[in-house]
Amino acid sequence: MSTQSSRSGIQPPTAFYGGKSKSHLPPNQITCTPPLPKPYNQPKAPAPPAPPPLPTYYSSTSKSPFKPSSPSALRHANPYSSTTSTSFPRAVTPTLDSSVDESLVSHHDFSISSASSSSPLILAGEGHHHYNQETDLSSSAESLESLTIGREVIEEERDKLLEELEIERALHAKTKEEHTMALVEVSSELRDLAIKQVMEAVAQHSTDLDERERAIQEKYDKRLKEQGKTSQERQRELSKQLNSLRDAEKALNQRLHEEKFVTMKHMKQSIKLTVQLERSNHDNALLRERLSMCEADLESREEQFYDPMYS
């Protein structure tokens, strides 16, 4: 048994040893391990899921949640937590904001006793025995009583934590009021100082802008003077380029006129050639017709020449 179970006054269930502790068995039976009943003679179940998160409390004066910082105080009187012995049947762990569901506890405990009462327990030298139903009932009652005790301890811890929380909230409200008064006293001085700093920054920024504007104006005036000197030279160069472009345009127009004349001449020649080609095609067609007629006449004459009727 663990230390917490011994503090809570919880004793291990003795139903599996015929109503007696294993240390009270005869010496010839202590070394013999009795077979487990049917529900416990199965492969190990997977590890239980993670415990639920700690409950949240709300005070009557404030709606800010409060959670206990450490679950050790809540587990102190809970005989079914992960730190207690595993010889107890696993029951529903009570929470701070809900009462114990006795139907689940009784169903869990009595399901074990009912399932195990139908299985024989074999002990060396004593033969077959059945579970004592009264011992199972007393074990279930002890489990329910331990759950009730754990719930009472948890409720006491909750009340104590809520009282401490109310005290801390009162101190916090008092400190907040003191800080507010101090800030009201200092706010006027800080406001004047902030206004002064802002005005100085604005004046300095205006001076910087004026200096930058003056420098930019001087720079662009200088560039305009330099561009004015070079603009006349650039204009002369552009006029020369324009004259050369006009001369080139005249030459291109003259050449275009000549090429147009040559193109018209070629077009007239192509028209003449096209007419001649059409005439030659027509003549060729007539010649083909005459040729086909001559071939037909020649074939008919050959047939008459070789036909004995005409011989």
Q: What is the pLDDT of residue 227?
A: 74
Whole-angstrom distance, CA of residue 294 vs CA of residue 54: 122
Q: Which portions of the chain are predicted below pLDDT 50?
A: 1-23, 25, 29-32, 36, 39-41, 57-130
Q: Where are the domains of the chain?
A: 3-43+54-185
Whole-angstrom distance, CA of residue 310 vs CA of residue 302: 11
The token pair that represents 40 in the structure block: 């416990």
Q: What is the pLDDT of residue 72?
A: 46
**Cβ neighbours of residue 47 under 8 Å, at least 6 residues apart?**
none
Whole-angstrom distance, CA of residue 80 vs CA of residue 83: 8
Instruction: Please list, residue by residue across 11-33, b when 16 or more beta carbons sit within 10 angstroms of its beta carbon and e when fewer do.
Output: ebbbbbbbeeeeeebeeebeeee
Q: What is the pLDDT of residue 246?
A: 92
- What is the reported pTM? 0.22
